[in-house]
Each structure stands twice: as C-alpha cells, then as structure tokens.
Chains A and B, each alone.
Chain A
C-alpha cells in the first residue's frame, strides 16, 4: 500500500463529507427532499447489515455470521444494551464457527 493511496483516499473521503455538510448543506431544502434525506440512515444501515452478514466479496453466503447477527437482532429487540448486543453477536458467531 502506498502513501499516495492513503492520502488520495483521505482527501476524497473528506471532500464528500464537506460537500454534503458544509457546501450544499446550508441551503433550505424542499420538504420532499428533506423527507427523503431523513430516510438515508434507515436504508443504508439496513443495506450494510445484510451485506456484512450475508456476503463475502461478490458471493452471497450463509455462514456463522447469520447466526451471530440473528442473535444480536433478537437481543436488540429485547432491548439489551448495545455493548451486550455486540458481545452476543461476536460470541455466537465465534462459537458457531468453531463448531462448524
């Protein structure tokens, strides 16, 4: 990995952040657009969860992570605090992987 890569990626990542929050962000948005933007975390977080649970690169897979994240979801639903949910997710995944 080269330092150029690190710095170019850092610059790009910061550019996106500033573009949204500072450059465009000051305008008052039309209500439909504002309603859509408010939905971004729901849509993207759900996507990230299924991607991290059911995929490996470009392959769809069903492995120990599905059990772990399933147990974590159950715990979250039962209002277990965050750190507990994470520990449950990791431990169930590790145990399922060790058994398999």
Chain B
C-alpha cells in the first residue's frame, strides 16, 4: 500500500493535518483551564467529546459567564453536524459493527473533509482512518500540554486562533475546483455570516447546511465538472 506514491502523499497530508490540529489543541487546553475546567476535565473533554468546535464553544460560553445549559446547547448544535458527516461517510466505511463504532468517534470535520477530497474508495478510507487517528492522538496530546501550561500562555498572542480557519481553508480549496461544491461553499459562508449577529452562537453553522441543496437537481450531462454522488 505504501508503495503507491499517491497513498503516501495522502497519508502524509493526513498526518500533517493531525499535527496542525494538535497545535490548535494547545489553545483549547489553555482556554478550558482559564474557563475554570480542571486539567482532568479538559483532557476528558478531548478524549470523550472529541469534536473541537463543540469543545471550544462550550468553554467559551462557560468562560464568558454563560450557564451550563447555554454552553451545552451551542455545543450540541455544533456536534450535530458530525451526524451529517456520518451519513456522508457511511457508504465508504462498511465493516463490522465494532469498527464502525470506533469510526463514529473519529467522524469529525477533518477526517470527513480529507476523505471526500480523495478520488477513489481506497484513498478515501485511508484518509478517513489516518486523519481520524492522527487528529485523535495530537488533539489529546495538545490538550494535555495546553491544560498544563494553563494561563501561562495567551493563544491570541501567537495567532493560534487563526490556525483553525487557516487549516480549514487548505482543506476547503480542493473542494472548490468543481462548480456545485463551490456554490454550496459560497452559500454556506454567506448564510453563516448573515445570521451571526441575529441567532445564538453555533446556530449559523448549522443553517449554513442549506448550501447542500445545490445537490438536489440532477447534474446535466454537459456539465463536465458536475458533482458526482458519493
């Protein structure tokens, strides 16, 4: 498998992404502890919740004095998108129930995005598992480091708050080569920005899902770059 240069390239990109996310996890560990979580709680969140946007949203609401219910609501809304990623990934992850229950925990933005960016089933599966596993390892290591550093570090001073969107931009670019995904992305971005001032934190992201409706019409035959059903 590793003799396939394309596979090596895919695995390299997936591990790199995991490492980058790990750097970002340091920022999560720092934020969690400064929001009042213990080191053990910060680590438990990364091990068990394992979906960065929800974790960040939860500690930021609690840190700014919000109630546990408000923190839970926003985090749960953000976590719901992993269910939708699961639907998208399911055709590529056939296997025993046990392996699917493990895959479920690894179904997050990064693993799904890296998988759908590949052209064939074998690379998709590999991208999913390698990204999921490497993000899991680096995310938890980074959280521990950040939680131990605690308030000694200001993540904003090092621009760590821009690391997450910067990583996502890189994942997003290959998806924008085709017309239909490009429309979905632009719509998602515009809807999200337009709603931010008016609805609770976390909800605009979920509403951005409306962009997927561009997938409804059957791709016309002359549209050579039309999206192919997964």
Residue numbers in A under 8 Å from B180 (CB-CB):
39
Q: In this assembly, does B141 line the interface, its C-beta being within 8 Å of a C-beta of chain A?
A: no
Contact B100 A21 (CB under 8 A): yes
* In the complex, chain B residues 65-83 whose Cβ is within 8 Å of any chain A Cβ: 68, 71-72, 75-76, 79-83
What separation, in Å, do the CA atoms of A14 and B79 have in the docked complex?
9
Count of chain A residues with Cβ under 8 Å from any Cβ of B?
A: 74
Min distance, Cβ B176 to any Cβ of chain A, angstroms: 7
Contact A40 B212 (CB under 8 A): yes
Contact A55 B196 (CB under 8 A): yes
Tell me the interface secondary structure of chain B in the complex.
Answer: helix
Contact A89 B49 (CB under 8 A): no
Given contacts A22-B101, A76-B173, A90-B163, contact A44 B188 (CB under 8 A): yes
Among the listed A24, A39, A93, which residue makes an inter-chain contact with B212, where contact means beta carbons less than 8 Å apart?
Answer: A39
Chain B interface size, under 10 / 10 to 19 / 20 to 34 / 35 or more: 35 or more
Contact B188 A86 (CB under 8 A): no
Min distance, Cβ B144 to any Cβ of chain A, angstroms: 15
Contact B191 A17 (CB under 8 A): no
Contact B166 A90 (CB under 8 A): yes
* In the complex, chain B residues 169-222 whose Cβ is within 8 Å of any chain A Cβ: 169-173, 175-176, 180-182, 184-189, 191-193, 196-198, 200-201, 204-205, 208-216, 218-219
Residue numbers in A under 8 Å from B153 (CB-CB):
none
| CB-nearest residue of chain B to A53 | B165
13 contacts between A and B (CB under 8 A): A10-B48, A13-B76, A20-B89, A21-B100, A22-B86, A24-B86, A25-B89, A37-B215, A38-B229, A40-B112, A45-B175, A48-B165, A90-B163
The 5 closest A-B pairs by CB, nearest first: A20-B86, A89-B166, A25-B90, A21-B86, A43-B211
